[in-house]
Chains A and B, each alone.
Chain A
Amino acid sequence: RKEVEQDPGPFNVPEGATVAFNCTYSNSASQSFFWYRQDCRKEPKLLMSVYSSGNEDGRFTAQLNRASQYISLLIRDSKLSDSATYLCVVNIAYGGATNKLIFGTGTLLAVQP
């Protein structure tokens, strides 16, 4: 079983739609959680951190459920420019201040005009 699992998609949605991505992780020692975005043939970039209380950044809302080891990302009012692969990322405790970020396989979003 992969440490971080996501539905690979693709999710094909019309502009303006609301879309939700889910992610589960297996390591209960995971300390912190993130969503990254990767455009086609580009490097991944941090989209947002995920907190237990839930957090919002414009049209994007992230939620974490530690008990269920489940992370979600909601995108409202989808734009064409949101088309990308969304990577769920978990930071495993490695000792000291060393970060070991484990990436999910990503969910591909294609927003259609």
Chain B
Amino acid sequence: AQSVSQHNHHVILSEAASLELGCNYSYGGTVNLFWYVQYPGQHLQLLLKYFSGDPLVKGIKGFEAEFIKSKFSFNLRKPSVQWSDTAEYFCAVRDDKIIFGKGTRLHILP
């Protein structure tokens, strides 16, 4: 059965700092990987996705993620965060169903 582990539950950064959120998954087959963002009081929205090809994928709002198959990882990065990036971030893996990690709450200090 697939599972997703997000290492950081709560991250606090200052504006302009660099961000990296960890995500590891457990699944033996071909996977599709996602990062979603949830702003306070809102629903989940897709940031980026990986299905195949270039392991470095770029998403919206300057986010990117790197798929490292040997490490079963799909970490999310952003070189310079903004106050508006304050939100909760979810990593997800899909074979048929979609399983989410427990999320990382990101708080950006102005």
Q: Do A and B assemble together?
A: no
Which residues of A does B touch, CB under 8 Å?
none
Q: Name B residues whose Cβ lies closer than 8 Å to a Cβ of A.
A: none
